[in-house]
C-alpha cells in the first residue's frame, strides 16, 4: 500500500457514472417506453381479425385454385407470424436506421422494377412478379421505401432552401409511374401518386403549385384512360353499371348478402363465386359472413390508425420523421380505402389487397415492414419535450406564406 490512501468508491453515494450494458433486455425496455402502444394495438387487432377473415374466405379460394379448403388459411397463419416478426424487428430501428433501410429498399426495388418487364412472370394479364426462389412483387416492397425516400429528399430544404426538392421528388414519381405502367399497374401508380402528392403538399409548397400538381394528376389519369386498355375497360364498366359477371358486381352482391349482422362464419354462399375472395375482395367476404356492421368497424380501425399517426406527428420536431410518418400512414390508409371502395362498388377495380387483413405473400410481408418502419419513425422518448414546430405549426406557417403571397 506504501502508505497511500485509496478511498472506497460507493456509486450510490457519490453518483459516479456507471456504464449501462446495451443488452437485449435494456433495448426492449427502451423500445416499450418509446413505442406508440395505441398504434401497435390497432395494428395487432387488424392482423388478428384478418386471420379470421382469411379463414372465412379460404374455402372459396381453395375451390377456385383446386386446393384444400383451408390451404390458404394455413399459409396465411405462417405469413402472419413471419410478418409480425418483420414488423417488430423493424420497429426496433432508430430513426436514422429506418431512414437508411427505406432508402436502400427504394433503390433496390427500383432496380428490380427495371427487370420486371423483361424477366417478370405474367399472372392475370399483368407482369408484376419476379420468381427468385419465391414469388416477389417489387412494387409492394417499394411502397415503404418510396415514402421514406421522398421524405428524405423533401427534408433537404432545411439544409438549403434553394434546392429544387419538389422537382427531385416529382422526377422520382415519374420514374416509378413509368415502370409501374409497363407492367401495367394503374392501381399502384395511383397509390404512389397519392403518397407523392401528400408529401409534396406537407413540404410547404404554395397553393398555386398545388393547383398545378392537381391539374397534372388529372391530365395523367385522362391519358391513361385513352392509352391503357385495361383502365378504359374498368372505368367504362364502373360507370356503365357492370354485369353479373363483373368482379366488382359480384363483390357488391357478396358484401350485401349478409345484411347488417352477417350469415355467420363459413355460412356464406355468394363468396364461392367470387374470384380472389381471400385477397382483393376479402372485404366482401367480411360483409357476407360478419355483417356490414363489422365492415364499418374495420373501416373505423383504419381511420383510427391514420388519426393516431397524425396525433403522434402534431408536435413532431423532425421534418423527415414528420414527412415519412405521414407518407407511410397515407400509403396504408390509401390502399385500404381504395380496396374497400372497390368492394362497395364506389371505385373501379384496382387489384389491390386490404393491408393487414388480406392473404398475401409479398404484400403481407411488405405491409408488415411498412408498419414496423412507421412504428420506428414515430417512436419518441416521453421525457423529452419538442423544441421545434410540429405538424400544426407547419400548416400555420404555410398559411401565413400563402396569405403574404396573395397580398403581394
pLDDT at 24: 82
pLDDT at 7: 47
Q: Phi/psi of residue 228, each to 5°?
A: -120, 105
pLDDT at 239: 62
Please state, in angstroms and as integers, the Cα–Cα distance from residue 252 to each residue in 38, 53, 338, following that order: 33, 17, 14
pLDDT at 10: 45
Helix (H) or strand (E) holding 333: helix 319-343
Question: Within 10 A of 388 (CB to CB), how many other CB atoms are there?
Answer: 11
Coil, strand or helix at 316: coil
Residue with cell 367504362: 236
What number of CA atoms fall less than 13 Å from residue 65's CA on the CB side?
A: 14
Mean pLDDT of successive 10-residue stretches along the chain, which has 408 residues: 46 44 81 94 96 94 89 94 96 95 96 90 80 84 96 88 87 93 87 93 76 76 69 63 63 88 89 90 95 96 96 88 95 94 82 91 92 94 60 55 48
pLDDT at 123: 77
pLDDT at 22: 60
pLDDT at 294: 96
pLDDT at 401: 45
Helix (H) or strand (E) holding 129: strand 126-131
Output the furthest CA–CA distance in the chain (Å, rounded).
101
Between CA 368 and CA 366 the distance in angstroms is 5
Q: Contact 185/139 with Cβ under 8 angstroms? A: yes
Q: Contact 209/225 with Cβ under 8 angstroms? A: no
Amino acid at each position: 500500500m506504501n502508505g497511500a490512501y485509496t478511498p472506497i468508491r460507493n456509486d450510490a453515494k457519490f453518483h459516479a457514472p456507471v456504464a449501462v450494458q446495451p443488452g437485449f433486455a435494456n433495448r426492449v425496455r427502451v423500445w416499450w417506453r418509446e413505442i406508440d402502444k395505441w398504434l401497435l394495438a390497432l395494428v395487432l387487432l387488424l392482423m388478428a381479425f384478418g386471420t379470421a377473415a382469411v379463414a372465412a374466405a379460404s374455402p372459396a379460394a381453395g375451390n377456385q385454385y383446386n386446393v384444400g379448403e383451408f390451404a390458404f388459411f394455413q399459409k396465411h397463419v405462417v405469413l402472419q407470424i413471419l410478418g409480425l416478426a418483420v414488423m417488430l424487428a423493424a420497429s426496433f430501428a432508430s430513426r436514422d436506421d429506418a431512414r437508411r433501410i427505406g432508402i436502400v429498399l427504394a433503390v433496390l426495388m427500383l432496380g428490380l422494377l427495371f427487370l420486371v418487364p423483361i424477366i417478370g412472370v405474367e399472372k392475370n394479364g399483368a407482369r408484376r412478379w419476379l420468381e427468385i426462389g419465391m414469388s416477389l412483387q417489387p412494387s409492394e416492397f417499394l411502397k415503404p421505401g418510396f415514402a421514406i425516400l421522398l421524405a428524405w429528399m423533401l427534408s433537404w430544404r432545411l439544409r438549403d432552401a434553394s434546392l429544387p426538392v419538389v422537382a427531385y421528388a416529382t422526377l422520382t414519381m415519374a420514374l416509378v409511374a413509368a415502370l409501374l405502367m409497363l407492367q401495367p399497374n394503374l392501381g399502384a401508380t395511383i397509390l404512389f401518386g397519392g403518397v407523392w402528392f401528400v408529401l409534396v403538399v406537407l413540404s410547404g409548397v404554395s397553393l398555386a403549385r398545388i393547383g398545378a400538381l392537381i391539374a397534372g394528376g388529372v391530365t395523367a389519369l385522362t391519358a391513361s384512360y385513352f392509352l391503357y386498355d385495361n383502365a378504359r375497360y374498368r372505368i367504362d364498366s364502373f360507370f356503365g353499371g357492370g354485369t353479373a359477371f363483373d368482379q366488382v358486381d359480384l363483390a357488391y352482391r357478396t358484401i350485401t348478402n349478409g345484411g347488417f349482422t352477417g350469415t355467420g362464419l363459413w355460412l356464406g354462399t355468394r363468396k364461392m363465386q367470387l374470384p380472389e375472395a381471400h385477397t382483393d375482395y376479402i372485404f366482401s367476404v367480411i360483409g357476407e359472413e360478419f355483417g356490414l356492421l363489422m365492415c364499418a368497424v374495420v373501416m373505423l380501425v383504419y381511420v383510427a390508425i391514420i388519426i393516431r399517426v397524425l396525433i403522434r406527428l402534431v408536435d413532431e420536431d423532425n421534418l423527415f420523421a414528420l414527412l415519412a410518418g405521414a407518407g407511410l400512414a397515407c400509403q396504408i390508409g390509401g390502399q385500404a380505402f381504395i380496396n374497400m371502395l372497390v368492394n362497395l362498388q364506389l371505385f373501379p377495380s384496382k387489384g389491390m389487397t386490404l393491408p393487414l387483413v388480406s392473404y398475401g405473400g409479398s404484400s403481407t410481408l411488405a405491409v408488415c415492414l411498412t408498419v414496423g418502419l412507421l412504428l420506428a419513425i414515430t417512436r419518441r422518448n416521453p421525457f423529452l419535450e419538442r423544441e421545434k414546430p410540429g405538424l400544426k405549426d407547419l400548416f400555420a406557417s404555410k398559411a401565413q406564406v400563402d396569405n403574404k403571397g396573395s397580398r403581394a
